[in-house]
Amino acid sequence: MAGRRGGGGSGRAKPSGEGGAPGEAGSPHLAEAAGQDSASGQDGASGEDKLIARLFGSLATHPGALGLTDDAAFLTPPPGHDLILTKDALVAGVHFFPEDPPVSIARKAMRVNLSDLAAKGARPLGVLLAFAIPPDMDDAALAAFARGIGEDARDYGAPLLGGDTVKTPGPFTVSITALGAVPSGTMVKRSGARPGQAIVVTGSIGDGALGLALRLDPSRPGFRGLDPAEKAMLADRYLHPRPRLALAEALRAHASAAMDISDGLIGDTAKLLAVSGVGGTIEAASVPLSAAARAAVAAETALLETALTGGDDYEILATVPHDRLDALSMVATAAGFGLTVIGATHAVGPAAAPDGAGLTVRAPDGRALALSRRSFSHF
């Protein structure tokens, strides 16, 4: 990047940019250069330094962010509340395409974290943002990324509190820490599911995974018959998760356990059941699919497995006592995304948990569905 300074007799190595020798270990904070205009002396802050300071400093409207000019932010937690803390990192080429619009990358980074808060029943308090900038990322991309962060911070009530910018010889990497709050002791955990409860999901399942599959191979049989609007919808659901924060309060009131679906409905349900110590059955025919997903699956049955195990849903998976279903469903319907019962929990027993996972997925014909994989893992 232009403006990077090298040695100059100070004993500091010129950073190689090749992953070799570090040029420094001190890392400037997110927009520290904002306070440097009068302090930068003869070699001044670089253009990019100032750009970052301007772009992100202007987002720091929360008083505790101190204009991003301090080492840390402060936040006065709401009395009588627990903090809910989550931190997800995203890497170009692993979690998003390097050529994705920077504003979309920003949204994904914000929303996968806000989705965790929603699933725990929390309202957002703010976010901390760190990102590592590769050599080929230009000012326009940085500005678009900042715009995406700022718009989501505003729209979801999750102000930017602080963070860090660093350079990397590797891919663009983003880490966000989201902070939320729930009344003390009311976080909705994964571990609260009990036998005899409904398994529910918000919205529709599989659109994100199908959007990814479409992008990787638009010529697949399942996608040939989709109209442009359907293809655009799937592509958009892959790029732009929709954190279901509108359901957070109702989850606290009505759900026994919840999580957001990031790694596939089947695998994530298995995780929730396992940590709760219960079994469960999902009726595949009950899993809500969008019209586009239904059309894709009808044309290529293999895509049903993609939808059920593919991840990128960022819908809420929850277990709910039957007498609370109506109340929870009403809130989901009012919020526009709806709620669908896809199965039920049961006590774990040798007969009820044939594969040790505690989860059976039943195909429309009543037989256990054979899946080649349950969910995607990084390793």
What residues numbered 21-40 form the site for a second copy, per CB under 8 A? 21-29, 32-33, 35-40
Assess 158 for contact with a second copy (CB under 8 A): no
Binding flags for a second copy, 271-310, as an x/- string (CB under 8 A): x-xxx--------------------------xx-xx--xx
Closest distance to a second copy from the beta carbon of 323 (Å) = 25
Assess 343 for contact with a second copy (CB under 8 A): no
CA distance 38 to 54: 15
Assess 347 for contact with a second copy (CB under 8 A): no
Task: Pick one of 63, 93, 354, 364: the residue that binds a second copy (CB under 8 A).
Answer: 93
- Are 230 and 352 contacting, i.e. CB atoms less than 8 angstroms apart? no
Strands 257-260 and 160-167: unpaired
Tell me which long-range contacts 49-52 makes (C-beta under 8 A, separation of at least 24): 49/3, 51/139, 51/142, 51/143, 52/142, 52/165
Structure tokens at 82: 């627990």
Assess 350 for contact with a second copy (CB under 8 A): no
CB within 8 Å of 159: residues ≥ 6 apart: 59, 60, 61, 62, 65, 126, 127, 153
Closest by CA to 56, choosing from 74, 39, 68, is: 68
Closest distance to a second copy from the beta carbon of 322 (Å) = 24
CB within 8 Å of 216: residues ≥ 6 apart: none
Binding flags for a second copy, 99-128, as an x/- string (CB under 8 A): ---------x---x---xx-xx-x-----x
Choose the stretch contacting a second copy; rule: CB under 8 A; options: 76-84, 282-290, 323-331, 334-342.
Answer: 76-84
Assess 82 for contact with a second copy (CB under 8 A): yes
- Are 288 and 203 contacting, i.e. CB atoms less than 8 angstroms apart? yes
Closest distance to a second copy from the beta carbon of 332 (Å) = 19
CB within 8 Å of 115: residues ≥ 6 apart: 241, 243, 244, 260, 262, 314
Assess 335 for contact with a second copy (CB under 8 A): no
CA distance 328 to 251: 7
Closest by CA to 197, choosing from 323, 286, 316, 284, is: 323
Choose the stretch contacting a second copy; rule: CB under 8 A; options: 130-138, 247-255, 321-329, 336-344.
Answer: 130-138
Task: Pick one of 59, 156, 165, 315: the residue that binds a second copy (CB under 8 A).
Answer: 165
- Which residues inside 171-190 make contact with a second copy, applying CB under 8 A? 171, 173, 175, 177, 179-180, 182, 184, 187, 189-190
Assess 160 for contact with a second copy (CB under 8 A): no
Handedness of CA 184, 275, 326, 295 (dihedral sign): positive
**Nearer residue to a second copy within complex by CB, 227 or 355:** 355
Ordered DSSP codes for 310-347: ------EEEEE-GGGHHHHHHHHHHHTS-EEEEEEEE-
Assess 135 for contact with a second copy (CB under 8 A): no
Closest distance to a second copy from the beta carbon of 206 (Å) = 10
- Which residues inside 33-72 make contact with a second copy, applying CB under 8 A? 33, 35-43, 45-46, 48-49, 52, 64, 66, 69-72
CA distance 318 to 341: 10
**Nearer residue to a second copy within complex by CB, 39 or 323:** 39
**Nearer residue to a second copy within complex by CB, 165 or 202:** 165
Task: Pick one of 56, 156, 238, 337: the residue that binds a second copy (CB under 8 A).
Answer: 238
